């Protein structure tokens, strides 16, 4: 596990801290012919070896570095197929982590993976999944009749409200799990402060009531999930 953590740290340093924007742009433009792609891979290998500080582990560092090259290459050549550029980014990062995991635990990959899955807290995972998209859909059904009565002349980011709700419910669930109920009150207060000026300027009672109901339903669903988990 220590080796796994060190390699993950090396990946974070090489991919995010020591990779200039200039390299990223050049790689996207020149792909396999980009010199920075190869510099990037060599830098990863050097970081892995430095963090591991054990020459006997050079094969793991080499395999991960070579795998990093092909994963990056796959991303560079498939990036144009996605309208949402965040999708290939997260796929790319997931593959890097999966590669490191497989290389570190290659000797007993099946046993370690089986043990990992057996030790997962499935109740918590269920609660986390519930407060994301399922809760958002439930809220949409609850507020469906009210949303038709709200008239707004302002523009907002696409799906911003949905993502804000998901994030706030995840925070609420985390605070309940760790037993910090008082922070939930601060979260509600912070959201009210951010919303206050916008609602005050519009002087729209229906919009105010709609947002208040939506907030209470969102927090209520998250609290319900949290209570069911800890009970």
Q: What is the mean pLDDT of residues 82-97?
A: 92
What is the value of pTM for the model shown? 0.80
- Which residues, including other chains, have CB under 8 Å from residue 106's CB and lie 6 or more apart? none
Instruction: Output the pLDDT for position 190.
Output: 82
Q: Buried b / exposed e across 83-115, counting CB within 10 Å, b at 16+?
A: eeeeebeeebbebbeebbbebbbeeeeeebeee
Q: What is the pLDDT of residues 60-70, one digit of tens each?
A: 999 999 999 99
The model's confidence at residue 153, banded by pLDDT at 50, 70 and 90, is: low
SS3 127: helix
Which has more pLDDT, 151 or 77?
Answer: 77
* Cβ proximity of 163 and 131 under 8 Å: no
Percent of the chain with pLDDT over 70: 90
Q: What's the confidence (pLDDT) of residue 188?
A: 85
CB atoms within 10 A of CB 231: 5
């Amino acid at each position: 596990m220590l080796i796994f953590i060190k390699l993950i740290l090396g990946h974070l340093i090489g991919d995010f801290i020591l990779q200039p924007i200039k390299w990223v742009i050049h790689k996207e433009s020149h792909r396999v012919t980009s010199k920075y792609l190869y510099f990037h891979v060599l830098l990863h290998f050097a970081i892995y070896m430095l963090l591991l500080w054990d020459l006997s582990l050079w094969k793991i560092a080499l395999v991960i570095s070579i795998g990093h090259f092909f994963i990056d290459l796959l991303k560079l050549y498939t990036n144009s197929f996605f309208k949402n550029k965040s999708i290939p980014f997260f796929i790319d990062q997931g593959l890097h982590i999966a590669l490191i995991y497989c290389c570190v635990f290659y000797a007993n990959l099946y046993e370690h993976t089986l043990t990992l899955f057996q030790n997962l807290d499935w109740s918590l995972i269920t609660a986390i999944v519930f407060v994301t998209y399922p809760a958002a859909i439930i809220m949409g059904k609850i507020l469906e009749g009210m949303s038709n009565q709200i008239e707004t002349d302002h523009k907002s980011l696409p799906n911003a409200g949905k993502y804000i709700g998901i994030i706030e419910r995840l925070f609420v669930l985390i605070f309940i799990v760790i037993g910090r109920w008082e922070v939930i009150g601060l979260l509600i207060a912070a959201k009210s402060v951010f919303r206050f000026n916008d609602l005050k300027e519009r002087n729209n009672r229906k919009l105010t009531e709609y947002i208040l109901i939506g907030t209470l339903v969102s927090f209520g669903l998250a609290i319900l999930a949290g209570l069911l988990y800890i009970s």
